Structure 1
């Protein structure tokens, strides 16, 4: 199909910043789609606002006729360009990028973009930033509106990073541009415009989330049913997450294994399966608080949910496995899927031993002890041993 869609990045200087090819594409378009602010910058007889909630369907309905779409700055950096290009053939569209808000802020701050986190929070929860809260870390954040800046400051203070410096930038690149600075604890601006982004310099003594697996157990709300930190680290090592992979966490409990799987890379995915409604809700809460809201919790029994689940790259069974479940999983899982199962009881250990004898893989016994007081001295207090079966389907 011949090229019919023009995706145009426009800045706060409006048409003055557009190239002649962009202006010509606007002139030839039968209709122009965009947000109210962008459409107000141009003169065109057929200007159409994006629907709420956002959808590209109105553009696709005009497929084959000359259409233009206006986006902020670079259409492929948290812009509509990615959504459109994902469903269109390469020869159906052409993009005319402008200067992204990230480039504008880096230029104002003098920051190296390759050393700075660039994150779109205009349509995502603020805790997505949680993993990046490390003193000295720099981030450029797009936000939904002026109220979101206040929410960001309050959240940083609550997490123990109230000393962080927020450089609040409004209407960048246009005649109304304004730049102000405050700490998260001291931010009291009550007139922040809705077209806003923030340059963040992280400071403070809040808890830092490490990159290595094995978060402290008290990072998670739980009722005692949690894969403990050292065992969890060994489980994640055995699961070996890779970018873009999907994990099934069967018997999610507090969600700790699934959450740490997601922490390993921003493109990983996880479906947590939990029978108990209270635990399912608790796991979802843990994920949201730690910025891993992409953890998908499905409440119910694994046997009932299996047919409707997308194929995983790895699965973790934290306990409570039985022979019918193992049989159903072995039939359901695709070749190459990595399976890691843990047993604490003698009955489940016998089950995993039998399956290892039949299907191969490796068995690992995890027997840990911690120093604990004995009267006025100390001795080793043993935990229940855990048997780990690791196998490739």
Structure 2
């Protein structure tokens, strides 16, 4: 077994439901030369009569990676569904390898096959792999007239999808249920979410979703209404949140620390800004930390990481991210700790409502610069038989680049 192979020892082959018939000549040649063919039992069953040794990939998927790497240098084929690099296993394997160790031969993805069957322009359709992800990831895109193609775990997941859509007020949505696309068992049926009357849905299954109904649609702009969040009163209210997100200025691929997260509204809206953003919410109160997790799941950003603990202690040993928001727990020691942490340029935004915290921000602004903003808001409320202005506590916001 060679430690430094002259040619790729691993070939990742995308396979469809038509088995060997759908493979390219290059993929067939790789199978002929392979000493080992690895894949799920379903994929291996699509290629009967293999001369190579076969390895049924274990569950969880990560358990198979060391088994594969132990054969490094032996001609090996890894079978994956359709396009291995679109919601597939490809990158989970190649990140452990050098570029010269592997090659790939993709097949048409389920998304491409579904779009071709339904006549949908794929660039205008949301695509989701929900084999092991919550259905709530669909929440930001639920709007009448929108379309999505969803890869689901199994047949019962279609019924779960229908029930969840109905709960969200989108029971009128059409579900195009696409079974075993591209193979002899292919079948396409449709129903509505409120009347999912299909039986014996076979795996593998995808759903083409045409959204319809009277459910609430999540706004795209920062500062979504407060009632989207479950909270106990500890929430950055909508107007202040919009100004806060504007100062934090989320950009693709960036990470936010939300310190004193409360119900997580700022971190959640940061994540809603772009699918590649990341966020960590720090919260000392266990109940509020749990509420933050639930809000993130409900609004489709379950990638939010919630850490329970008190800042600045919980920040020890970390490297500052691109942006930090202090919504609670503002103190001299916290600001000093943040400035002392290693990291590149970091946009810091801190909000204060008490006289003491306002004075603290004024001192740090005088020393470090940045922008100091005083926000005063009033809302029209009933006043006897008429209306009057009810003022909220003034908010002082300091934004600076560390």
Pairs within 5 Å for 1:296-315: 296-315=305-324
The one-character-per-residue Cα deviations of 1:253-308 (angstroms, maximum 9, x if unpaired) are 00000000000001100000000000000100111111111010000112221124
Quick one: structure 1 residues 341 and 262, their matched pair in 2 at CA, closer, same or farther if it must change by over 3 Å?
Answer: same
In structure 2, the partner of 1:50 is 57
> Structure 2: how far apart are the matches of 1:303 and 1:237?
25
The one-character-per-residue Cα deviations of 1:354-383 (angstroms, maximum 9, x if unpaired) are 001111101001100111111111111100
1:328 deviates by: 0.7
> Structure 2: how far apart are the matches of 1:28 and 1:240?
53
Pairs within 5 Å for 1:319-338: 319-338=328-347
1:177 deviates by: 0.6
In structure 1, the partner of 2:152 is 143
In structure 2, the partner of 1:8 is 13
Which of 19, 27, 49 is the matching residue for 1:22? 27
1:227 equivalent to 2:236? Answer yes
In structure 1, the partner of 2:96 is 87
In structure 2, the partner of 1:133 is 142
Q: Give the SS at the match of 2:120.
A: coil
The aligned length equals 393
Q: What TM-score does the superposition give when structure 1 sets the normalisation length?
A: 0.98
Q: Is the 8 A contact 2:319 2:341 kept in 1?
A: no
Q: Which structure 2 segments of 5+ residues have no match?
A: none
Which of 194, 201, 208 is the matching residue for 1:192? 201
In structure 2, the partner of 1:154 is 163
Q: Is the 8 A contact 1:320 1:348 kept in 2?
A: no
1:78 equivalent to 2:87? Answer yes
Q: Give the SS at the match of 2:217.
A: coil
1:41 deviates by: 1.5
Bigger mean CA offset, 309-318 vs 94-103: 309-318
In structure 2, the partner of 1:292 is 301
> Structure 2: how far apart are the matches of 1:48 and 1:311?
43
The one-character-per-residue Cα deviations of 1:146-184 (angstroms, maximum 9, x if unpaired) are 111111100000001000000001011111111110010
Q: Give the SS at the match of 2:345.
A: coil
Q: Give the SS at the match of 2:95.
A: helix
Q: Give the SS at the match of 2:86.
A: coil
1:39 equivalent to 2:44? Answer yes
> Structure 1: how far apart are the matches of 2:166 and 2:115?
24
Q: Give the SS at the match of 1:235.
A: helix
In structure 2, the partner of 1:181 is 190
Q: Is the 8 A contact 1:164 1:183 kept in 2?
A: yes
1:252 equivalent to 2:261? Answer yes
1:333 deviates by: 4.8
The one-character-per-residue Cα deviations of 1:204-243 (angstroms, maximum 9, x if unpaired) are 1111111111111110110000000000010000000001
> Structure 2: how far apart are the matches of 1:76 and 1:288?
26
Which of 363, 369, 374 is the matching residue for 1:354? 363
Q: Give the SS at the match of 2:312.
A: helix
- For the aligned residues, what is the CA RMSD? 1.0
